[in-house]
Chains A and B, each alone.
Chain A
Amino acid sequence: MIDVFERRIILVSILVMGLFILAIFYAMGARKADVTECLPYDKTYETARVEQLDKTTYQIFYVARMWNFEPSVAYIPVGSEVDLFVTSNDVVHGFNVYNKNVNLMAVPGGVTKTTVRFDQPGVYKVVCHEYCGTGHQNMQAEIIVNYPKKQ
């Protein structure tokens, strides 16, 4: 019913797709590239803050609202590993860190979390990339990775 060429192309397509899927698993396993962790929500995420867990481990709790992020500037020493938690106080916002593969949604009633290492000093811009009303294009924040450290 299906001719040889067609059968071959279906087989090849399936193999190619298999290869892509292997690449996804490789990225997850060897490169630790994953999507946001799924955490149950609680009220403590509504308080924006930076917490230091130990010398090189930090947690930043972001609260997005129309039309800014809190904390709007966060200082982190070079070489730290940072857990980012993001939620929203009003509508849906986006959270994209320039030059880092951090890409989260800030959704009221939910919290997203990812972990990122900052090995290079610099100013990392955070841009809101989901439409959140008339002030959307103003909405950004900064993560300042400095060396030697100081606030």
Chain B
Amino acid sequence: MQVSRFLRNTILIELFVPILLLTVGIYHGLMQVIYRAGVIHQSSVAKLDYYQGLTLHGVINAVVLTTFFAVAFGHATIAFYLKKEPNKKATALSMWLMVIGTLLAAAAMLAGKASVLYTFYPPLKAHPAFYIGTAMLIIGSWVAFFDWVTIYLKWKKENPETNTPLAIIGTLVNFTIWFVCTTAVAYEVLVLLVPWSLGHTPTVNVPLARTLFWFFGHALVYFWLLPSYIMFYTMLPKLAGGKLYSATAGRIAFFIFLLLSIPIGVHHQFGDPSIGRGVKLSQSLLTFGVALPSFITAFTLAASLEYAARKRGATGLYNWIWKLPFFRKDVFLFGYLINGLILFIFGGLTGLVLASYSLNNVVHNTAFIPGHFHMTVAGPVFLAILGMSIFLLQQLTGKKIFLPTINAIVPYLWTVGVIIFSSGLMWGGLMGEPRRTNLGLTYLNPASDQYHPYWVISSMLGLAGGGIMFVAGFLYFISFFGTLFSKRSTEPLLDLPESEPLHEEKRIPVLDTFKPWLAIMALIIFLTYLPAISDALNNTGKKAPPYLPTDPTPVVQKK
């Protein structure tokens, strides 16, 4: 279909800004493995401190890139499936809020005034611009969402008996989760932290702030993941040359995500004080519930792929796999998605390990954690973002992909890198190697009396895998920016691959409405988080004044 110039440009800017910043994020990813393997024993390189760079890495890769992409992809999905373009004013406002917010936060981080990592746990204090910038980014994404809701409601009124397209269900579920979970972090940031960082309030309740953060923080990972799920269900079968085994399964999966993405955030706080064991155990168990849609998805996708391969003439119990269109530059998106899925098998299973209550004690906050989540957020999430970004870039500009062969092998190279990288980090984690630590200064510095030779080999594996990931990222940038700066060869258009369902599927009314699901969602969140918040309020003995990361004495408040 044709899209207006305005919408095309908005989407392109929303893809371009984060991918430009991603160059910094990927650069520092490489630096992190170099520091951590003890190749260098320095606190900073090229004026960029380890923890400052790690903050940039986390914020850019995991928050800026993912949020911008979700909004850009949401615009494309809404326009494509509902055949209505989003409102101009809302779309522009949303984009500007996100761009300006990101610039503010980036300035604070690059100035070295916000080296607090992307979780910004108080009482470490960042410059107010960091908090305000992040809040603007989030609020910008809300504006786009509110506009989509009005478009959807209008569409539904005109088409009451038509099943809402699966991609639209996915997008709306995703942004509903996002809106609900970000209200907690917006409260944390705007009500607790901004006045405190400006010196208006002297102290902050740290366990409460952490609980509010993780109300947001786990749902955040589903906000990263659901755009990939939308692609897996609505595009992957088509790209493979087949049909979607069951669209009903997709609907069920999305609605389970809606119910269970948020009320499990305490599984990041098993080691925290103030929160009772009952709250922790119940949220651990609910986490297993949210694994269910992923199991369903794994089955449905495997069945769809098998169908596609057999349609291409494959035989045999397992041999059909080789009939899938791997390494094909004309269907490069297939490569990005399938590699993401392969990584997600391991990412998902290690996630279940981490969610298992006391088992978490073995590896909490060790290198196991980044080992795990580079197979989720830097796996299916990141690869789907890269693949779809260059796909949309090519269509919306009407340009040809620069170096298409390179673009087609990027996801494979990346995946090999991540597998090696994550094996190293997870192995190190099992031996107690801490995360978020410049190991090269002490634990992996033979000159230090804290030298810890056990972690040499594991961190070297991290370096090897990280190096391969860096090369893959670098090749992607060449392909992406090369495409962007090449000459237009056809008319711009928007044409998303659209899988048909394998079986004729009837419209099931409960799977085509949000109201009952929203009510159950609210109830579960209320039941799980009321005790968590009340624990954090009641068991906390004192509040904390702000600290700068460089100074063990609290920031003195101006009177």
Contact = CB atoms under 8 A, between A and B. Distances in A.
Interface of A: 1-3, 5-6, 9-10, 13-14, 16-17, 20-21, 23-24, 27-28, 33-43, 65-67, 87, 90-92, 94, 96, 98-99, 101-105, 107-112, 125, 127-138, 140
Contact of A40 (B210, B292, B541): B541
Given A14-B292, A38-B274, A138-B442, A129 B435 contact: yes
A128 B434 contact: yes
B249 A6 contact: yes
Interface in B276-305: 276-277, 280-281, 284-285, 288-289, 291-292, 295-296, 299-300, 303
A66 B552 contact: yes
B271 A103 contact: yes
A110 B358 contact: no
A108 B362 CA distance: 23
A33 B358 contact: yes
Nearest to A10: B296
Nearest to A87: B273
Nearest to B273: A110
Interface of B: 43, 49, 51, 54, 115, 117, 121, 123-124, 205-207, 210, 245-246, 248-249, 269-277, 280-281, 284-285, 288-289, 291-292, 295-296, 299-300, 303, 352, 356-366, 432, 434-439, 441-443, 450, 452, 503, 505-506, 508, 535, 538-544, 547-552, 554
B242 to A, nearest CB: 16
B547 A129 contact: no
A137 to B, nearest CB: 5
B544 A137 contact: no
B554 A90 contact: yes
A112 B540 CA distance: 11
Shortest Cβ-Cβ A-B pairs, 6 listed? A41-B541, A110-B273, A129-B434, A66-B552, A13-B295, A133-B549
Contact of A137 (B360, B364, B443, B547): B443
Contacts of B505: 1
Contact of B434 (A3, A14, A28, A96): A96
B432 A98 contact: yes
Nearest to B434: A129
Contact of A103 (B121, B360, B439, B549): B360
Nearest to A35: B270
A41 B549 CA distance: 25
Contact of A105 (B272, B288, B543, B550): B272
A110 B366 contact: no
Given A38-B535, A96-B366, A128-B434, A133 B543 contact: no
A104 to B, nearest CB: 5
Given A10-B292, A38-B275, 12 more contacts: A2-B248, A3-B503, A6-B299, A35-B270, A35-B358, A39-B273, A90-B544, A96-B365, A107-B207, A112-B273, A134-B43, A134-B115
Nearest to B366: A129
Contact of B361 (A40, A99, A102, A138): A102
A139 B358 CA distance: 25
B436 A67 contact: no
Contacts of B540: 41, 109-110
A42 B541 contact: yes
Given A109-B544, A134-B51, A24 B366 contact: no
Contacts of A102: 361
Contacts of A2: 246, 248-249
6 contacts: A24-B285, A94-B365, A98-B432, A108-B544, A112-B271, A130-B365
B202 to A, nearest CB: 14
Contact of B547 (A28, A66, A138): A66
B454 to A, nearest CB: 9
Most buried by A among B248, B365, B503: B365
Contact of B299 (A9, A34, A38): A9
B272 A94 contact: no
B358 A137 contact: no
Nearest to A97: B432
Contacts of B123: 90-92, 108
B436 A136 contact: yes
Given A1-B248, A33-B359, A38-B539, A13 B273 contact: no
A103 B288 contact: no
Given A13-B295, A103-B361, A130 B436 contact: yes
B207 A110 contact: yes
A40 B540 CA distance: 7
A27 B435 contact: no
Given A35-B357, A91-B547, A107-B272, A1 B249 contact: no
A101 B364 CA distance: 10
B278 to A, nearest CB: 9
Contacts of A13: 291-292, 295-296
Contacts of B506: 1
Contacts of B295: 9-10, 13, 16
Nearest to B125: A91
Contacts of B280: 35
A36 B273 contact: yes
Most buried by A among B289, B432, B548, B550: B432
Nearest to A98: B432
Contacts of B249: 2, 6
Contacts of B292: 10, 13-14, 17
A138 B439 CA distance: 9
Nearest to B442: A137
Given A107-B210, A109-B540, A128-B434, A134 B358 contact: no
Contacts of A42: 541
A37 B299 CA distance: 39
A138 to B, nearest CB: 6
Given A96-B365, A103-B361, A38 B276 contact: yes
Contacts of A38: 273-277, 535, 539
Contacts of A96: 364-366, 432, 434
A110 B271 CA distance: 11
Most buried by B among A21, A39, A66, A107: A107
Contacts of A136: 51, 436-438
B273 to A, nearest CB: 3
Contacts of A130: 121, 365, 436
Contacts of A23: 356
Contacts of B210: 92, 107
